[in-house]
Each structure stands twice: as structure tokens, then as C-alpha cells.
Amino acid sequence: MSPELEETHSFWSRYGCLLAVVWIVFLIFPILTITESSLPGPARVAGYGLIAAFGVVYVWAFCANSALLGVSAEGHGKAWYPFGALLLITAASVPFLGEGAISYGPFLISFAAYLLSIRVMWIVNTVVFGVSLAVAIFVGIEDFVFLLGLLLVLMTVNAVNTNLIRRGIVADGLRLDNAVLTEQERMARDVHDALGHSLTAVGLKAQLAERLLDSDPEAARAELQQIRALTIEAMDSIRATVGGLRRATLAEELVSVRAALHDAGVDAVLIGNAAHLDPVRSTTLSWILREAATNVLRHAHATTCWIRIGESNLSIEDDGDSLAGSREGHGIRGMRERAKLAGAHCEIGDSGHGGTKVGLSW
């Protein structure tokens, strides 16, 4: 559960019952009905007792289900038990309240709106308002104008509020799904970039070590030691990537990339200074540089690679094979996505030296 959802859940769990408590003040109407009646003492006590029972059941139901208020269009099965109890208490109150029993109406329609299904909510709304209107017409509508107006307002407000609650829950769910998807895409790009570069370098060094094994065992040993260091670096990079902690700077990546190109027999020509670039974009640019250099090592068959750094641009180009006619792979898509996230424009095409050029500008 996301922090936003947890916060919402916690709020309703703690304070959702206030929806019921606030409305308890309207039980003053049935109380006044009994107070102003000519009922004998025992009947009054019974009437007051039923009103108290109604209030207790209503508040208890809201507090017990506070985290569920308005969240489901299908309602909650266990809410039918307190709702049934409220209906029984309402029916039992008719001999004591008479037509004043319709003052329970606002409570019944609110209960149905927040804890029962949408279909039941509208059925309860229709029945309660219909009965209240019929009683008002029969007895004298001027005495029930406030109640009828209150019922209409509550039916509208409850319908809108519960709809907003459900829409909010759906929106939170979509935001959570999007956050998960974004994180998965980030990890896919980071793992691809980190492993792609390291494994390419390991493969090249393994080939070199194999060639040196008979003619120069010491040089071969040195290459094997570098392979071991590269594998340790790759494992550290993967761990950092999974934890979202990898933050290589462009200057650090330049050292690694130039060493890998040199080991592969590719001259690395650096034009410009990494210090000229915006530090905010340094991490993103380091990833793109790594992926571009990996593509040079894997596919270009180049002899020279030029890395140009300016205040608002960065380019990597080679004199190897062109990308013309080739399919855009995951690495190139990843470079474009990273550039976009950093507010930069990424253009990949042919180099003036015959190979491929990756250009970034912002």
C-alpha cells in the first residue's frame, strides 16, 4: 500500500465514525416528538430507550466499518445486520412517535449510501422519501418542509460524496500501478545498461586473455584479474540498481568508458570537460554514455570513438558500422527514455566519420 493510500486508510479508520456522531444531533426531532406528546411515563421511557438504541447501533455500525465507508459500489454484507436492526427499531418506534418516525429517514439513507450497494442506496432513498412525502401530504406538509428538504440534500450529497470516494480510490490505485510500472522500467533500463557494459568488457578481456595465454602468461593473468574486478563492479552495480542507489557521475563514467574502449583497441578521443555540464543531469548522461560506448564495443567494429562535451550538449560518435537499416533495440530506446526524463533531446543517426552518432542537447 502506498503512503497516500495508507494515510487515507488511517484517516477513515480513526475518524470515519464522526460522520455518524455529527448526525446524532438530529435525533433531537424524535426526542422532541415524545417530549411534546401525551404519552404516559412508561411509554415515554420506552420511546426514549428506542431512540437511544437507534443512536447506539447507528454510531457503532459506522465506527466498526469506518475504513469501508463509501469504498465499494457493491456494499458490505456484514453491514446488513446493523441496518436490519435500525429498520426494526424504526418500526418499533411508530407506536410512540407516530408520523414522527420518519425523522429516522436521514439516518437510514446515509447508512445505505456509505455501507450498502448503490442499488440498495437508491431503493432506500426512494422508499424513505416516498413515505416521508406521503406522510407530509397526509398530515400537513408545512410541518415537514425542513425534513423533506434535508432528505433531498442528503440524497444528493451522499451520492456525490460516495462517487468521489470511489473515484479517488481508483485514481490512487492507478497512481500506484503507474509508480510500480515506472520503477520496473527504471530497473530494466539500469540492469540492461549496467550488465550490458560490464559483460561486453568482460567478453573482450576474456578474448584478449585467451590470445595472451601462451605468448605472455603474465599479461593474461593481469587481464583475468581485471575480469574479476569487472565482475565485482557489475555485482555492486546491480545491487545498487535494485536499491535505487546507483548515482555514477559523468566524470566517473568517462574513466570507465575510456578504459573499456582502450582495452578493446578503440582510441577514445575526449573533447571538452565534464565539469561544464549541469550536475543535475550528470547521472542520466553517465548512463547514456555507458550505453552508447557499449554499443560501440559490441556492434560498431570501430577504431576511434569521439566523445564531445559542451555546456548544453553531449555526443558520442564512431567510425565503425552505421546503424542504417538496423532495428532499434532496447538500449537505444532506453537512451531516448532517459534523455526525455532528464529534459534533453536525444538524436541517434549516422556519424560524419562513417559510423553512428548519439547526440544529446538541452
Domain coverage including residue 272: 248-362
Residue 277 buriedness (CB in 10 A; 0-12 / 13-18 / 19+): buried
Residue 278 buriedness (CB in 10 A; 0-12 / 13-18 / 19+): middle
The pLDDT of residue 248 is 64
Q: Report the greatest alpha carbon distance in the chain.
A: 118
Of 16, 26, 20, 21, nearest to 150 (Cα)?
26
Statement to judge: residues 253 and 156 lie in one domain:
no
Statement to judge: residues 14 and 157 lie in one domain:
yes
310 domain-assigned: yes
- Per this entry, what is the length of the chain? 362
Statement to judge: residues 172 and 252 lie in one domain:
no
- 275-282 long-range contacts (CB < 8 A, ≥24 apart) are 275/251, 276/309, 276/310, 276/311, 277/250, 277/309, 277/311, 277/314, 278/362, 279/249, 281/342, 281/343, 281/344, 281/362, 282/249, 282/250, 282/251
275 domain-assigned: yes
Statement to judge: residues 9 and 121 lie in one domain:
yes
226 domain-assigned: no
Of 132, 150, 176, which residue is a domain's last? 176
Residues lower than pLDDT 70 in the chain: 1-17, 19, 170-198, 233-248, 276, 278-280, 324-326, 330
128 domain-assigned: yes
208 domain-assigned: no
Statement to judge: residues 161 and 252 lie in one domain:
no
85 domain-assigned: yes
What is the residue whose three cell numbers read 578503440? 266
Statement to judge: residues 168 and 292 lie in one domain:
no
pLDDT (tens digit, 9 = 90+) per residue, 274-328? 876 766 677 778 888 888 888 888 878 889 999 998 888 889 999 988 876 667 7
**CA 302 to CA 67: how far, in whole Å?**
63
Of 131, 161, 176, which residue is a domain's last? 176
Statement to judge: residues 152 and 268 lie in one domain:
no
14 domain-assigned: yes
The pLDDT of residue 174 is 65
Q: How many domains does the chain have?
A: 2
Statement to judge: residues 167 and 267 lie in one domain:
no
Statement to judge: residues 7 and 106 lie in one domain:
yes
pTM over 0.75, yes/no: no
The pLDDT of residue 129 is 93
DSSP state of 277: S
Of 176, 203, 220, which residue is a domain's last? 176
Statement to judge: residues 170 and 306 lie in one domain:
no
CATH number at residue 355: 3.30.565.10
Cell numbers for 233, please give them. Answer: 563492479
Q: First-to-last CA distance in the chain?
A: 37
Statement to judge: residues 150 and 257 lie in one domain:
no
199 domain-assigned: no
75 Rama sector, left if φ>0, alpha if ψ -120 to 50, beta otherwise: left
Statement to judge: residues 38 and 140 lie in one domain:
yes
pLDDT (tens digit, 9 = 90+) per residue, 63-73? 888 777 777 78
